A = this chain, B = another copy of it.
Amino acid sequence: MGKINLLNDYNSSAHPHVIDALRWTEDKRFPGYGTDAETAAAAESVRHLIGRAVADVHFLVGGTQTNLTAAAAFLRPHEAVISPASAHVNIHETGAIEAVGHKILTVPAENGKVRAEDIRAVIEGHTDEHMVKPRMIMISQASELGTVYTLRELRALRDICDKHRLYLYIDGARLGYALASTACDIELGELASVADAFYLGGTKNGLLFGEALVICNPELRADFRYHAKQHGALLAKGFLLGVQFRAILEDGLYFDLARRANAMAYRLASGLTEAEVPLLASAETNQVFAHIGYRQLHRLEEKVLFERWGREDEKGAPIRFVTTWQTTEAEIDEVLDML
C-alpha cells in the first residue's frame, strides 16, 4: 500500500479526459508549432473564458519557461522585475529571470501577498540611471502560501502600475485553484482586466503539461512567438497543448478539479485547526501550510507524503500539504486521524 500523497500537485499524470483527447490524436496529422485548429480552438476557449475577443493566447510547456520567456519578451535590458522575496520566480527557478538579463527587486510578502506600499517604496527608491528601472510586477495567484489576492488588492497594484508605467504579470501556475477558492472575489475576466499578462496553469491541474499565457496588453504582443522559439518554448507538436487545454476547459472541468482539490484542503485545514495544529497561512486554495510538532510529524511521515517547508525550530517543523482532484475525503480523514 502506498502512502497518502500530499506532496505536490504535479506528481500524477493527466485527467482521463485529457488522456482520451491525446488518444484521439493518434491517427491524425497536424500542422506544427501550434498553428493547428485544436490550438486555435483552445485559444478561443480561453478568450471566451475571459470575455475578450482579442487577447493573444500562447500555449507553453511549463511555468519557469513561461515566466522567463515573458520577462525576456516584455522587458528591455535595464528594466527590472518586482516580486515577493518568497516568489517561485525569485527563489526556485535557478535564476531564470537573471539569466535573461533582468534583476528582481524583492518586497516582503505577508501571508504570501505583496502590499502596495512596499512596491511603492521600491519604485521611489529607483530614481536614476545608476539603478535598474522597475518595470514589471510579478506575483502569483494563488500566492506561494496558497492565499488569494482579492479584487481590491489587485486593483491597488493596478493603480501603481498605471501611475508608474509598470506591467502587472500574474503567474497562474495555480490560477484554477485561486479562482475556485471560496476566498476569491474575482473572476477570470476581471483578472484579465487588471493584468497585462498572466497564465492559466495546466500542469498542476489536470494536464500532462501546459500553461496558457494570455497577453492582455496590446503593446506586449508583438513577436511573442519569436521569443518563445528563441527559448526553446515553441513545442514542435504544439497541437498537444491545444488538445489538452480543449479537453480540460470543456464543461468547466478545469474549475471542477480545482474546486474538488480546494474542498479537500479546507477539510484538512479545518481538521488541523481542531487538532490545534497551527496553520501558517489561511488555507484558501489547495495548499495547507502548518507548523507541526515533531511527534506528530514523525507519525505522519510513516504514512503520508508531504514536504517540510522552511526553517525548523525546537518545537517542530513547518510543513506543506498539497491536495489535487485525486485527493479523497478518506485520505484526508486518515491523515487527521493520525493527529
Contact = CB atoms under 8 A, between A and B. Distances in A.
Contacts of A93: 130, 229-230, 232
Interface in A217-261: 223, 225-237, 240
Interface string A153-186: 0000000000000000000000000000000000
A164 to B, nearest CB: 15
Contacts of A52: none
A209 B227 contact: no
B230 A94 contact: yes
Nearest to A324: B29
A235 B133 CA distance: 20
Interface string A62-81: 11111111001100111010
A51 interface: no
Copies in the complex: 4
A11 B32 contact: yes
A58 to B, nearest CB: 11
Contacts of A234: 64, 129-130
Task: Tell me whether chain A's interface is mostly helix, strand or loop, or mixed.
Answer: loop
B101 A229 contact: no
A119 to B, nearest CB: 17
Nearest to A10: B236
B5 A226 contact: no
A129 B229 contact: yes
A63 B33 CA distance: 13
Interface of A: 2, 5, 7-8, 10-14, 16, 19, 22-23, 25-26, 28-33, 61-69, 72-73, 76-78, 80, 91-96, 98-104, 129-133, 203-204, 208-209, 223, 225-237, 240
5 contacts: A5-B29, A13-B26, A76-B76, A94-B129, A94-B229
